[in-house]
Amino acid sequence: MKFQGTENYVATEDLMVAVNAAITLQRPLLVKGEPGTGKTVLAEEIAKSLGKKLITWSIKSTTRAQQGLYEYDAVSRLRDSQLGDERVHDIGNYIVKGKLWEAFEADGEAPVLLIDEIDKADIEFPNDLLQELDRMEFFVYETQQMVKATKRPIVIITSNNEKELPDAFLRRCFFHYIRFPDADTMAEIIEVHYPGIQKRLVAEALNLFYDMREVSGLKKKPSTSELLDWLKLLMAEDLPPEALRAKDAKTAVPPMHGALLKNEQDVHLFERLAFMARREGR
């Protein structure tokens, strides 16, 4: 059982080592990296390449650890009791399973559990899940029942670094930082997404793209997913590669920049640069 990337996902060697270590030792894998470098997609691709089911638990600022285990639906029980429903006598009817429970109880092969953007939740959130992720078991107080994973799921956790994660939590994970792909890897990624795309267009686009990332003062640097969108647009418009190279003279703002720059300040910055380039050119 080894993860080696898929036809849709270019995995670097270090990423493969980290993923395989996490799978073999059955520890969670914590993945960080710039936005748009494919953190979430990674879990999907692992599930796909290993032929497992993917269970996604997306974390929000209001998510509590308990919600991943189970929730006790007191309101419907209250309603049922008012209506004299027979179900009311079994408290088990009102226990709503969370994503973690779902993953622990999955039939057949152990699934892949993605805990997405764990840093969105409260600071204490990861600490509340320590035992559960470590031992892969938890206790349901309402029904006095122990839930234990029959097969340990593969746990992938992503973080955008908005909060520091507690040390005790980190110690139990493997960690991988997806760094921004270099031009070669990027070309591979593009090839995977748009097979048979014009080589020259890619080369020009990449040049421009990496130049753009070098511009200092950008609020949000364009990332992989934005580059892919942009290329799609370029292909749809059928722009010749030469159009991208005309940057020396009038246009420092690349064509279809809307896909790359997501912030009006950044667009202004480029317009200013273009203006200055024009003035110097005269």
Partner 1 sequence: MFTGFFYKLKDARVPVSLREYLTLLEAVEKGLAGYSVEDFYYLARSALVKDERHLDKFDRVFSEHFKGVIDLAEGMDEVDKTEIPEEWLRKLAEKFLTDEEKAEIEALGGWEKLMETLKQRLEEQKGRHQGGNKWIGTAGTSPFGAYGYNPEGVRIGQDKSRHRRAVKVWDKREFKNLDDSVEIGTRNIKVALRRLRKWARTGAADELDLPGTITSTARQGWLDVQMRPERHNAVKVLMLFDVGGSMDDHIKVCEELFSAVKTEFKHLEYYYFHNCPYEGLWKDNARRWNEQVSTWDVINTYGADYKLVIVGDATMSPYEITYPGGAVEYWNAEAGAVWMQRLLDHFEHAAWINPQPENWWRHHQSIQIMHKLMEGRMFPLTLDGLDRMTGELNR
Q: Which residues are at the interface with partner 1 (CB under 8 A)? A: 13-14, 17-18, 20-22, 24-25, 27, 29-30, 32, 123, 162-165, 167, 170-177, 179, 182-184, 210, 214
Nearer to partner 1, 194 or 210 (CB): 210
Smallest distance, Å, CB 27 to partner 1? 7
Using CA atoms of 269, 206, 45, 120 in order, give the dihedral in degrees to the nearest 10: -20
Smallest distance, Å, CB 218 to partner 1? 11
Nearer to partner 1, 22 or 205 (CB): 22
Smallest distance, Å, CB 147 to partner 1? 25
Nearer to partner 1, 29 or 55 (CB): 29
Residues β-bridged to residue 9:
6
Smallest distance, Å, CB 26 to partner 1? 11
Smallest distance, Å, CB 238 to partner 1? 28
Buried/exposed 11-22: b ≥16 CB within 10 Å, e otherwise = bbeebeebbbeb
Nearer to partner 1, 177 or 194 (CB): 177
Smallest distance, Å, CB 21 to partner 1? 5
Nearer to partner 1, 145 or 161 (CB): 161
HEC string of 112-164? EEEEECHHHCCCCHHHHCHHHHHHCEEEECCCCEEEECCCCCEEEEEECCCCC
DSSP helix/strand/coil, 278: helix
> For residues 209 and 227, is the Cβ–Cβ distance under 8 A?
yes
As a whole number of angstroms, the distance between CA 179 and CA 37 comes to 8
> For residues 29 and 176, is the Cβ–Cβ distance under 8 A?
yes
> For residues 45 and 55, is the Cβ–Cβ distance under 8 A?
no
> For residues 14 and 22, is the Cβ–Cβ distance under 8 A?
no
Nearer to partner 1, 181 or 254 (CB): 181
